[in-house]
Structure formats: C-alpha cells, structure tokens
C-alpha cells in the first residue's frame, strides 16, 4: 500500500499543468472558473487544443487515439484539467457515444465516426430521456420502424443538452413494441440535418439555454447507423450509463471552486472582518473540504480496485461518487451564493453580460452565483438521480 | 498511488481477523473477558504477542518488526470489527508511541522487550478533568529535585487501560501556565510507586480506565522520557497516530455494524415480507454504507498523513479524518440502531455494543466539531 503519488506521477501532473495553463486561452479558463457560460466556439477551441496533444480522448484505446495511461494517470489528468478550469472534452462525444461505438460498433462505423468524434468535427448529443421516460428510461416510446434499408423514427426526446449545436444524436428507439421493455430497444446514430427533426429550446431556472426538446417526425435513418444488435440497444445504454457514473465525481472542479470560495470570501467583509475569518462560515467551508477529500480518496480506491476487476461492467460502488460528488458540487454553489449575498440578486442574460446593460465590474463577480446555484440542482438529477443511485447500491452492493 | 496490501500485510490481516473471529464472534465470550481480573483476556493478550502484533511499530533495533502505520491500521480495523477489549491502543499505540518518538534509547531498550512479549502493559496519562481536548492543558506539576529527578503532584483522569497497566507515562508541567505549549514533560511512573493511587472503572464501551492521583511521587532522572522543551511535540505526534488508529478501529466497527444491519433487514419479517424489501429502509442502509466508505477513505488518508514530516499538514489531515469519521459514526451508529428497532436497544445484541464503542471513539482526542474548528482555524485542507 502506497498512498502517495510517485515522483513520475507528480512529474506527469506538472507537465499537464504547464500545458493546460499555457495552451488553453486564459479567457476560457477564467470563464470556467467563474462559472460563466462558454460559447460553442470556445468549447470547440479548447477541445481541439486538447486533441492536438492527444488529451481529448486519452481513455480510448490507443488505436483510436487513446493514451495508454495507468488509472492513476487518468485520475491525475481529470483532476488537473478540472482544477485548472479546462472545459471537459465534449462528454457526449468522448465519454458517452465514443466508448459505445468502440465497444459495440462495426469497423466501418468506427472508421467513419470515431476520428471526427474525437476531434469534435462532429458535435454529438444524447437522445435518451423522454417526457415519459426519465428514471424509468426503458419506458421510452420513440419508435424506429424498419422499412427496407431505413428505420423511420417518430417520437420525442427531452433534456437534450446542447442539441442546438449538435450535428448528430445517439438515440434509444423502440424497434420491437411487442418485446418486454428493455428487450425491444435499439441504439441509432442519427444525423441532425435529416428532414423531420425539430429542436425546441427549454429555458432552465438559471435563465440559460442548455437543454432542448428534440422531435422526430418520420425521420429516415439508414440501417447502417444501428450500433450493436437490433433490439439490444439496452446493453449499450447500460454500458454508457455505467461509464457516466465514474466521470461524475468532478473532484477537480469542486477543488477549484473551493479555491475560489476562499479567495472571494477573503475579500468580502462582514462587519470588521472578512467572511473567511468568520468562524461559522469557514467551518462550513472546511466541512465541504473534508467531504471532498474523502470523495477524492474513495475515487482513487475505486480506481485501484477496478484494476483487479475481471468484468467490463461498471463498479457499482461508483454510485457513491455520483451521490457524494453531486452533493459536494451543490454545497460549493451554495457557499458561493452565501458569499455573494445581496449582490446575487441582479439578473442578466449572457448577451447583457457584455452589452450596455452590463453590471458594474466591482459586482460582476457575484453575477454567476445565483444562476449557478439554481443550475446545479441538476447534478443530483441527471445521470441517474441520486435516489436511483441508492437503488443501484442497494441492489448491487448490499444485495437487497 | 496503490491501495493494495502487500503479501505480508494481507497475511497479517488474515491472521488477526481469524484469531479475533474465533475469540470474539460470540458476544458472550466478550462478556466473559470483561469479568476477568483485568477486564480483558490476559490469555488473548499473550496470543497477540505470539502473533507479533505488539512488535509491529517498534524498530528492529528495539526488538520490533519495524513496520509502519499501515500495519497498525490493519490491526486496529480488526479490533474494531471484533470489539476487542485488550489494551493494544494504550500500550502499543499511545505509550509505545511515546517511547518511539521521545528518543530515550536507554528506556526504550529496557521497556520494549517486555512490551513486545506481552508481559507488560502501559498507559498514557495525558488527560485531566479540565483539559477537554487540549493536550497542553496540564495542571499536574513536576518539580525538579535538583538532582535530575522530579516530584509529581496532581490528578490525571480517564486513563485508558490505566487500572491494570504496569507502568504509566504521565504528562506533567515543569514550567509555565496551565495551557502553555512549552514546559510539559513526560515521565515514566511505576503504577505501584509510592504516592500513586488509581481508581479504576469500566467505560461505556465495556473497556476500562482509571483516574490516577499522584501525590508527591518521586521519579529519578532515568524516568524522564521527554523534557519540558519537547513533551508536547511528542504527545501531539502520538495523539495523531492514535487518531489514525482510532479511525481505522471505527471503520472496522462501522463496517461490521453496517453488515449486521443489512443481514437483519434481509431476515426480519413484518407485514409478511423481509423489511429490507422496503425502499425507505434500503436507502438508509445505503447511506450507512456510503458513510462507512467515506470514513474508510479518510482512515487511509490519516494513516498516510500521520507520518508527514510537516506537523501543520499532518495536523490538518488528521483533523479532517476525525471530522469525517465522527460524522460517519453518528450516521452509522444511530441508523444502525434505528433500523434494528427494539433489538438494537438491548445489551444481548451486538449492534448496541458497536454503537457504544463508536460513540466513545468520537469523543476520544476531539470529536468531529472540535476537529472541524481546528481544521477551519488552520485554513482548511487546500
């Protein structure tokens, strides 16, 4: 048992840090650190910079651009990129659809889709949730009916994140309405430019436009865009959702946010002392730090155990990472809101942020506090709500 | 970074767990040990020594095995799971820790062989009625006799394992005011020395402790373990190692209680079904499990950081671990009793005994709130 990083691992971290801080524009890193929205161009720019160094898809197999790292190196990469405010390489491409195509796709599909996915030449979005299929995802109703060389897709997806930018959508569709729930679903890749697709924005509580509804009206999808076997798309979905859980702890972002909390609370005065010198406030910060350190160690333990796991299935213990990771993220946004205090009230849209209506620079730091707090309620809901994660742990770990 | 145990560590874990399973699985055996003259099983204590457990942390020159805190963690976790009563923590981790860190070679050479063989137990008398969690709050005095020796005067309270220990290590003030950081010495006192009075009693968790009165107790120069310039530093590093061990012990006890609770939920039937089929109870059991795993992570962290050369970083990490473990203790202990219902309230069933030991661990060397305050005042972890 050696719980410290080796000299090689520390050197690896140092090298990454230098790259992140020199190659990715400071304006982008600053926006991430301050919880401001990035434009599509900024996300693509950052993704392509990472890709140029082989850092967009390091967890993929080497032949598709992966890095052949140890689990600890992957951990360091994730933490270091998050801590330095590097936007995540687009998760729909690199963490969700990419691994599914690699695990279930044909050679032709891999050659056609993976390089463009890795480079973010194609922007992907996720067509899983439906108005009637949230936690009970297998209850989805969007249909794909085989007609010759095509499927005809009809139905509606929702909560589709950044569909407004997407070139492609990976989609769960019901191909066998007679089969039992999970057994009649297929995983299709659909070009967003296909006639019959409509994207309607959903504005979330924070005022932002992150998610959308996507409607399919007689959309023709070539049969060659089926991934895995027909009717066996649930295997792909389970695989994808398992992968999603491990990336969801977001320890590095929370560390970065703690650093920001300390910096801002050190500047904001309450009476004659700074908020950071207030016993009650600093104990709240310390309590979150303790939880975060425990989460970080738990994540490394799960990584370490995974090296010995024979099966390719996700470690059910990773549901802990989702539960604690989301709670901690929410706690940090709560602390930022407390720091902002009454300055959290002014509401401005992204457009106004740079226009004539922009807030005065000396209170502008407080502007993202409330929207971020509101927005982060999502983290205990998406990717399998925390209650679903408890169901998973109850069943898979405790054996209920 | 590697969480795997070495082959030797795995062997140690297997052999300790096997011995304790055979000797502690039945709660009635534990009750039997409590009725023995020392309040624990002397025979079992000797068996630990035969297994080499006492030798673990001491250097090979001192007659030990020269192993690290990871091995201590393995032993402590097994003790927690078994609810073992024997004074391993007082003798090996606390008093033994003082002997290791104070650097008095002659005294170490004299005492450690008997400790390693399980022939002698020690206790560390560091707490006083008013001291709460402040190791520097010492009103017991040590007056120099001019010949290198001292006369000790005062009262030490809740000395773990103090009623049956052969020797005591006492913190006493050579100079300075009551809570000054400097001026505290550490002295070796024979438990039967003239002027030493011990009032022994059982503790809430089934173990034993003593209040010790020192009345004109004279010790020679050879009994000075650490002088007034370094007594507190030694106490602090030993306390941090003890906290790491207590965190591991708590993890062992919490994991056992959590497993016991899950088993109970699967077998106890009400409304014609196992109560574990109810989602509200499943989710509570999951929260217990999560609390245990978060505590386990911090017990590892404490073990790693207890040997950190920077005392400030060490203290912060140890405080963080004690916060997490203390909070997990409350979740696991209280939920464990709640999910058991009435049976959890009885002396005949193990759950309550885990709860009691865990609650006492939270109160040892500073509870969760105390350490949160310490950590926050030191600027937090990052």
- Distance (Å) from the alpha carbon of A279 to chain B's nearest alpha carbon: 8
Note whether B69 contacts A: Cβ–Cβ < 8 A. no
User: CB of B57 within 8 A of CB of B244?
Assistant: no
Same domain, A62 and A11: yes
Number of Cβ within 10 Å of residue B272's Cβ equals 5
H or E stretch covering B363: none
A306-318 average pLDDT score = 74
Which of B308, B324, B369, B381 is the best substitution to test chain A (most A C-beta atoms within 10 A)?
B381
User: Is residue A2 in a domain?
Assistant: no
Residue whose structure tokens are 């993202």? A368
Cβ distance of B380 and A289 shorter than 8 Å = yes
What residues of chain B lie within 8 A of the CB of A298, using their CB? 293-294, 296-297
A272-287 average pLDDT score = 97
SS3 for A96-149, per residue? Answer: HHHHHHHHHCCHHHHHHHHHHHHCCCCCEEEECCECCECCCHHHCCCEEEEECC
pLDDT digits (tens, 9 = 90+) for A83-118: 999 999 999 999 999 999 999 999 999 999 999 999
Q: Which of A179-183, A365-369, B182-186 has the highest mean pLDDT?
A: B182-186
What residues of chain A lie within 8 A of the CB of B372, using their CB? 283, 286-287, 290
Residue A131: give the domain boundaries: 123-231
Cβ distance of B2 and A2 shorter than 8 Å = yes
Which residue among A262, A320, A394 sits closest to B285, beta carbon to beta carbon? A394
> Token pair of A315, please?
């470690």
Report which of residues B32 and A314 the model is more confident about: B32
For A287, nearest residue in chain B (alpha carbons) = B372
Give the three-state DSSP class for B271.
coil
Report which of residues A348 and A125 the model is more confident about: A125
Cβ distance of A294 and B298 shorter than 8 Å = yes
Same domain, A171 and A224: yes
User: Is residue A378 in a domain?
Assistant: yes
Same domain, A260 and A167: no
Angle at CA A339, nearest 5°, toward A248 and A320?
A: 20
User: Of A231, A263, A295, which marks where a domain is finished?
Assistant: A231
A292-303 average pLDDT score = 92
Same domain, A139 and A206: yes
Which residue among A1, A3, A296 sits closest to B9, beta carbon to beta carbon? A1
Detail the DSSP E strand segments found in A95-149. Answer: 124-127, 143-147
Q: Between chain A and chain B, how many beta carbons pairs sit less than 8 Å apart? A: 133
A13-34 average pLDDT score = 97
Note whether B267 contacts A: Cβ–Cβ < 8 A. no
Q: How do the domains of chain B map onto residue ranges?
A: 7-120, 123-228, 232-377
User: Residue B64: which residues within 8 A CB-CB, separation 6 or more?
Assistant: B55, B56, B57, B58, B112, B116
Q: What is the mean pLDDT of chain A?
A: 93
For A254, nearest residue in chain B (alpha carbons) = B382
Distances (CA, A) of B43 to A358, B64, B86, B118: 78, 21, 10, 10
Which residue among B1, B293, B373 sits closest to A2, beta carbon to beta carbon? B1
Cβ distance of B286 and A301 shorter than 8 Å = no
- pLDDT over 70 at B236, yes or no: yes
What residues of chain B lie within 8 A of the CB of A262, using their CB? 380
Per the structure, the count of domains in chain A is: 3
Which of A257, A335, A394, A396 is the best substitution to test chain B (most B C-beta atoms within 10 A)?
A394
Q: For chain A, what percent of residues have pLDDT higher than 70?
A: 98
Cβ distance of B277 and A400 shorter than 8 Å = yes
Report which of residues A195 and B103 the model is more confident about: A195
- pLDDT over 70 at B274, yes or no: yes
Same domain, A150 and A256: no
Note whether B266 contacts A: Cβ–Cβ < 8 A. yes
For A302, nearest residue in chain B (alpha carbons) = B3
User: CB of A400 within 8 A of CB of B265?
Assistant: yes
User: Of A180, A204, A231, which marks where a domain is finished?
Assistant: A231
- pLDDT over 90 at A305, yes or no: no
On the question of a common fold for B7-120 and B123-228, the answer reads no
User: CB of B252 within 8 A of CB of B80?
Assistant: yes
User: Is residue A84 in a domain?
Assistant: yes
Note whether B382 contacts A: Cβ–Cβ < 8 A. yes
Q: What is the C-alpha separation between B297 and B293, in angstroms, rounded?
A: 6
> Which of B326, B282, B261, B258 lies closest to A388 in space, CA to CA?
B282
Cβ distance of A282 and B300 shorter than 8 Å = no
Same domain, A271 and A380: yes
- Distance (Å) from the alpha carbon of A133 to chain B's nearest alpha carbon: 21
- Distance (Å) from the alpha carbon of A191 to chain B's nearest alpha carbon: 41
Same domain, A183 and A141: yes
Which residue among B4, B262, B323 sits closest to A290, beta carbon to beta carbon? B323
What residues of chain A lie within 8 A of the CB of B308, using their CB? none
Which of A254, A273, A292, A294 is the best substitution to test chain B (most B C-beta atoms within 10 A)?
A294
A216-228 average pLDDT score = 98
State the architecture of B232-377 in CATH terms: Up-down Bundle (1.20)
Looking at residue B307, its pLDDT comes to 92
Rounded to two decimals, the ipTM of the complex is 0.96
> Token pair of B254, please?
């919490």
Taking the CA atoms of B32, B38, B39 and B44 in sequence, report the sign of the dihedral they define: negative
Same domain, A198 and A75: no
Same domain, A255 and A347: yes
Lowest mean per-residue pLDDT among A382-391, B269-278, B284-293: A382-391
- Distance (Å) from the alpha carbon of A57 to chain B's nearest alpha carbon: 23
Please give the class, per CATH, of domain B123-228: mainly beta
Which of B69, B262, B283, B293 is the best substitution to test chain A (most A C-beta atoms within 10 A)?
B293
Same domain, A210 and A254: no
- Distance (Å) from the alpha carbon of B346 to chain A's nearest alpha carbon: 25
For A319, nearest residue in chain B (alpha carbons) = B290
User: Is residue A112 in a domain?
Assistant: no
Same domain, A296 and A333: yes
User: Is residue A310 in a domain?
Assistant: yes
Residue whose structure tokens are 């590097």? A86
Same domain, A298 and A262: yes
Cβ distance of B320 and A293 shorter than 8 Å = yes
User: CB of B108 within 8 A of CB of B137?
Assistant: no
Report which of residues A227 and A71 the model is more confident about: A227
> Which of B12, B107, B121 lies closest to B68 in space, CA to CA?
B12
User: Is residue A109 in a domain?
Assistant: no
For A301, nearest residue in chain B (alpha carbons) = B3
Q: What is the C-alpha separation between A325 and A255, in angstroms, rounded?
A: 11
Note whether B376 contacts A: Cβ–Cβ < 8 A. yes
User: Residue A205: which residues within 8 A CB-CB, separation 6 or more?
Assistant: A374, A375, A377
pLDDT digits (tens, 9 = 90+) for B119-167: 999 999 999 999 999 999 999 999 999 999 999 999 999 999 999 999 9
User: Is residue A216 in a domain?
Assistant: yes
Looking at residue A312, its pLDDT comes to 62
State the architecture of B7-120 in CATH terms: Orthogonal Bundle (1.10)
Looking at residue A363, its pLDDT comes to 81
Looking at residue A66, its pLDDT comes to 96
> Which of B198, B232, B218 lies closest to B142 in space, CA to CA?
B218
For B381, nearest residue in chain A (alpha carbons) = A289
For A299, nearest residue in chain B (alpha carbons) = B297
- Band of the pLDDT at A247, cuts 50, 70, 90? low
Q: For chain A, what percent of residues have pLDDT higher than 90?
A: 84
Which of B74, B376, B377 is the best substitution to test chain A (most A C-beta atoms within 10 A)?
B376
A137-141 average pLDDT score = 95
Which residue among B262, B301, B376 sits closest to A398, beta carbon to beta carbon? B262
pLDDT digits (tens, 9 = 90+) for B297-316: 999 999 999 999 999 999 99
User: Is residue A296 in a domain?
Assistant: yes
What residues of chain A lie within 8 A of the CB of B9, using their CB? 1
User: Of A202, A231, A260, which marks where a domain is finished?
Assistant: A231
């Amino acid at each position: 048992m050696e719980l410290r990083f080796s000299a090689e691992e520390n050197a690896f971290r140092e090298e990454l840090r230098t790259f992140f801080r020199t190659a990715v524009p400071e304006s982008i890193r600053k926006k991430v650190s301050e919880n401001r929205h990035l434009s599509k161009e900024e996300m693509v720019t950052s993704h392509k910079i990472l890709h140029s160094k082989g850092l967009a898809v390091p967890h993929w197999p080497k032949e598709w651009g992966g890095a052949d790292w140890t689990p600890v190196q992957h951990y360091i990469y994730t933490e270091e990129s998050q801590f330095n405010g590097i936007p995540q390489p687009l998760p729909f491409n690199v963490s969700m659809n990419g691994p599914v195509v690699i695990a279930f796709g044909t050679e032709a599909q891999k050659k056609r889709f993976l390089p463009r996915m890795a480079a973010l030449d194609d922007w992907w979005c996720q067509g899983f949730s439906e108005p009637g299929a949230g936690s009970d995802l297998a209850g989805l109703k969007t249909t794909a009916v085989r007609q010759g060389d095509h499927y005809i897709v009809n139905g509606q997806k929702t909560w589709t994140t950044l569909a407004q930018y997407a070139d492609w959508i990976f989609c769960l569709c019901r191909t066998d309405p007679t089969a039992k729930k999970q057994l009649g679903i297929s995983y299709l890749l659909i070009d967003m430019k296909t006639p019959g697709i409509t994207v309607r924005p959903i504005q979330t509580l924070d005022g932002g436009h992150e998610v959308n509804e996507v409607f399919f009206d007689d959309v023709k999808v070539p049969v060659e865009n089926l991934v895995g076997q027909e009717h066996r798309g649930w295997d792909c979905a389970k695989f994808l959702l398992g992968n999603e859980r491990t990336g969801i702890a977001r320890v590095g972002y929370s560390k970065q946010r703690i650093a920001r909390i300390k910096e801002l609370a050190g500047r904001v005065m309450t009476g004659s002392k700074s908020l950071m010198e207030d016993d009650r406030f600093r104990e709240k910060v310390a309590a979150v730090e303790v939880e975060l350190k425990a989460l970080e160690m738990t994540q490394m333990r799960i990584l370490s155990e995974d090296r010995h796991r024979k099966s390719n299935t996700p470690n059910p213990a990773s549901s802990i990472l989702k539960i604690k990771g989301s709670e901690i993220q929410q706690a940090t946004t709560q602390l930022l809101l407390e720091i902002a205090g009454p300055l959290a009230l002014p509401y401005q849209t992204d457009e106004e942020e740079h226009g004539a209506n922009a807030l005065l620079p000396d209170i502008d730091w407080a502007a993202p506090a409330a929207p971020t707090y509101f927005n982060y309620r999502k983290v205990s809901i998406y990717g399998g709500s925390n209650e679903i994660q408890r169901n998973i742990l109850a069943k898979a770990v405790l054996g209920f | 970074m590697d969480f795997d145990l070495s082959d030797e560590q795995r062997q140690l874990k297997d052999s300790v767990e096997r011995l304790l399973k055979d000797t502690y699985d039945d709660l009635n055996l534990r009750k039997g040990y409590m009725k023995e003259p020392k309040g624990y099983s002397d025979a079992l204590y000797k068996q630990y020594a035969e297994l080499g457990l006492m030798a673990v942390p001491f250097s090979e020159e001192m007659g030990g095995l020269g192993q690290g805190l990871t091995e201590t963690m393995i032993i402590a976790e097994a003790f927690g799971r078994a609810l073992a009563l024997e004074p391993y923590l007082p003798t090996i981790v606390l008093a033994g820790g003082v002997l290791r860190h104070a650097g008095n070679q002659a005294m170490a050479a004299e005492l450690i062989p008997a400790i390693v063989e399980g022939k002698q137990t020690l206790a560390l008398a560091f707490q006083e009625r008013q001291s709460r969690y402040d190791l520097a709050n010492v009103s017991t005095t040590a007056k120099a006799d001019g010949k290198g020796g001292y006369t000790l005067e005062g009262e030490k309270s809740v000395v773990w394992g103090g009623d049956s220990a052969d020797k005591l290590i006492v913190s006493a003030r050579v100079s300075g005011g009551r809570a000054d950081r400097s001026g505290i010495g550490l002295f070796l006192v024979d438990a039967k020395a003239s002027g030493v009075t011990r009032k022994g009693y059982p503790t809430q968790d089934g173990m034993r402790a003593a209040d010790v009165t020192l009345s004109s107790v004279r010790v020679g120069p050879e009994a000075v373990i650490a002088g007034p310039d370094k007594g507190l530093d030694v106490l602090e590093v030993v306390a941090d190692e003890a906290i790491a061990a207590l965190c591991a012990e708590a993890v062992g006890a919490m994991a056992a209680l959590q497993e016991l609770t899950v088993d109970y939920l699967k077998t106890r039937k009400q409304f014609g079904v196992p109560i574990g089929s109810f989602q509200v109870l499943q989710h509570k059991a999951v929260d217990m499990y999560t609390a245990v795993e978060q505590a386990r992570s911090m017990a590892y962290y404490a073990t790693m950081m207890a040997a950190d050369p920077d005392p400030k970083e060490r203290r912060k990490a140890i405080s963080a671990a004690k916060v997490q473990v203390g909070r997990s203790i409350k979740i696991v202990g209280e939920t464990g009793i709640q999910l058991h219902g009435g049976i959890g309230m009885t002396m005949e069933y193990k759950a309550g005994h885990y709860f009691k030991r865990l609650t006492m661990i939270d109160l040892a060397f500073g509870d969760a709130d105390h350490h949160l305050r310490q950590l926050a005042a030191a600027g937090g972890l990052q």
